[in-house]
Amino acid sequence: MSFVTVHEVGPRDGLQNEPGVISVSQKIAFIDALRDAGLKRIEIGSFVSPKWVPQMADTDAVMAGLKQMSGVQYDVLVPNKKGWDSFDAARGQGNYGIAVFIAASEGFSRANLNCTIAESVTRLAPVVAAAEAAGVPVRGYVSCVTDCPFVGEIAPAQVAQAVALLRNLAPMPVSLGDTIGKGTPERVAAMLDAVLDIMPASDLAGHFHDTSGRALDNVRASLAKGLRAFDSAAGGLGGCPYAPGAPGNLATEALVAMLHADGFDTGIDAEKLVAAAKMAKGMRNGADQN
């Protein structure tokens, strides 16, 4: 039975847009529930400007309250050297990794990061160097791998070029994000063909939003290309705050149900996962009422 790694992004990508206050204790309880369901890779927050993403302002406090468990890695999004310094001060002896991100679209890069793609890579170079020196695992994200909300369809060659820029910094695994959920299996397959020319499927993950209801179809197209890692958010929460029309990550419980039905192993307890997803939805609804 083939194993598929599920990278849970709900505590970060799922909650970052929520307008109401979600307490540190609620976030930790959510992460605990995900870990107890068997998830081994959980993205728990980010060190970005609280002015732009206030929901993530307490990531250091979340890190301080997490239980460290053998085999479980908590990941944190780090966009620049200032973010690295904050992360480094908070990580202690915990089992943490970082995620760094760029876009395959110049329009998205300018809207989201206020710089060109090349400039964003230059900005990340000291972050990746510091992480490697500290022995902290690094994972890359490339956004807008099929479509951009500002410039439309993205050519597969553009995605491959963006991936190459990240891999030139370090031989990191890369997650490919269909940021606004407009990808189709045919276009995802074409994009993956271009990327697979420069890196192996074993180092790639798919990150599909379900805006158009095609996320699971795109997962199957990726599985056919050899990918065995996918990002998802319990309860289907989240979306990018700088990508109009991009609500809703692929729900982890839907992803796991499909994988199990198709004969893949994930190491995840489906019933406990559903309970964690209900917690996420309840937490969101509670925040909306504040």
The predicted structure's pLDDT at residue 239: 56
pLDDT of residue 77: 98
* Contact in structure between 189 and 154 (CB atoms under 8 Å): no
Provide the CA 130 distance to its chain's centre, in angstroms.
21
Pairwise CA distance, residues 240 & 68, whole Å: 28
d(CA 254, CA 215) in angstroms, rounded, equals 10
Per-residue model confidence (pLDDT) at position 45: 97
233: left (phi over 0), alpha (psi -120 to 50) or beta: beta
- Half-sphere exposure of residue 230, counting CA atoms within 13 Å on the CB side? 34
Residues 6+ apart with CB under 8 A from 105: 143, 144, 148, 150, 151, 154, 158
Going by their DSSP bridges, the two strands 147-148 and 152-153 should be labelled as antiparallel
Active site residue 115: no
pLDDT, residue 290, reads 42
- Give how far Cα 101 sits from Cα of 259, 261, 274, Å: 27, 32, 29
Span 244-263, pLDDT tens digits: 544 579 999 999 999 999 99
Q: What pLDDT, on the 0 to 100 scale, is given for residue 278?
A: 95
Q: What is the pTM of this model?
A: 0.94
Which residue stretches of the chain have pLDDT < 50? Answer: 241-242, 245-246, 288-290
The SS3 call for residue 76 is strand
Burial class (CB in 10 A: 0-12, 13-18, 19+), 196: middle
From the candidates 115, 144, 148, 240, give the one annotated as an active-site residue. Answer: 240
Which CATH architecture describes the domain 5-288? Alpha-Beta Barrel (3.20)
d(CA 25, CA 178): 31
Q: What is the pLDDT of residue 18?
A: 83
Domain ranges of the chain: 5-288
